[in-house]
Amino acid sequence: MWYKDAADVVVANDLRVEYNGRSVQIDHFVALPAGFLVIESKSLPDHIYIDEADNWFRMARGKRGVEDREGMSNPIEQNKRHIAVLQELFGSVAHGGVPPLANVIVFPHPKVVVRGSKPAGAYLLRVDQLHTFIEKLRGSKPAPETASTFDLIKLALTYHRPLVLDPYERYHIDKKDVLPLSRRIEFDVKQKAYLCVFCAAKMALQRDRNGLFWGCPNNPQCKKRVPASVAVQVGTEAVERSEKDKDFLTWLFTDKPRLCPNCGDILQRKNRAIKSTGRVRM
């Protein structure tokens, strides 16, 4: 948001680059005249401690005032892998040298404190320090015979491949399990039966303490059930659609089929002769 209209600063957010069989997800990629900032954002509310071996720990106040340490992944090493892929990509097209790519770790939480050893080859900043940091580098001149950072960031954008996550696949959810009740059952006009959309079995009318429902007979493998009131609506719509079709099987019913409001089954035509009048009651 700081450099929306700037001509000498280009920012790409949430950049996912695929190149040469590898892919990297970069939180923020900033192109300045003299080089790039590859920014990894770490939302941590805790204090951070870095030991001499470059191991990172989250620090939290434990019982009796003793600090607890919890190991965490090193974001600098993660960002190094991002930079390596970008350097390989840029090196494949740049006729001059590749501009420097700075490894920057930014902590959005304003109260984060980093203690311990200072890691080499990376910049650790809180988000309130980032703008001043960029401004200091903004006026730097590019090294002679290096490729243009703005041409290279355009190149990186052509290799951007957004990651499309399928939540059903990620969380191992069958899409049918989240279907509304009206789509878990279908009425087959030809068979005059309700079918389970999960296994295509003919559903059976059953009753429990909550009332009538249509349940799949393949229990316990398939435990799908649909309330009778929902099934009535599904059956009615199926019959209406079929009647609108010119190829509808007219032999099936002479009149528009009617469904029982209690169980959803089709009402059958029954003839009963009345001796006193000789009339037929439907």
* DSSP result, the chain: -TTTT-SS-EEEEEEEEEETTEEEEEEEEEEETTEEEEEEE----SEEEE-TT--EEEEEE-GGGPEEEEEE--HHHHHHHHHHHHHHHHHTT-SSBPPPEEEEEEE-STT--EEEPPPTT-EEEEHHHHHHHHHHHHTPPPPTTBPPHHHHHHHHHHTB------HHHHTT--GGGGS-GGGSEEEETTTTEEEETTT-PBPEEEEETTEEEEE-SSTTT---EEEHHHHHHHHHHHHHHHHHSTT--TTT-SS---B-TTT-PBPPP--EE-TTT-PEE-
- In this predicted model, which residue has the larger pLDDT, 68 or 122? 122
Query: Is pLDDT at 260 greater than 50 in this prediction?
Result: yes
Residue 153 maps to a domain? yes
Q: Could you tell me if residue 276 is inside a domain?
A: no
Mean pLDDT of 50-68: 79
- Residue 282: pLDDT band by 50, 70, 90 thresholds? very low
Q: 105: domain range?
A: 10-158
Is 182 found in the same domain as 121?
no
Question: Of 158, 190, 221, which marks where a domain is finished?
Answer: 158
| Residue that finishes a domain, picked among 113, 129, 158 | 158
Quick one: pLDDT at residue 190? 83
28 and 59: one domain?
A: yes
For 130-181, what is each residue's pLDDT tens digit? 999 999 998 899 888 899 999 999 999 999 988 776 777 766 777 767 788 8
Domain count, the chain: 2
Average pLDDT over residues 222-231: 85
Last residue of a domain, one of 158, 192, 227: 158
Q: Is 95 in the same domain as 213?
A: no
- Which whole number is the average pLDDT over 205-215? 88
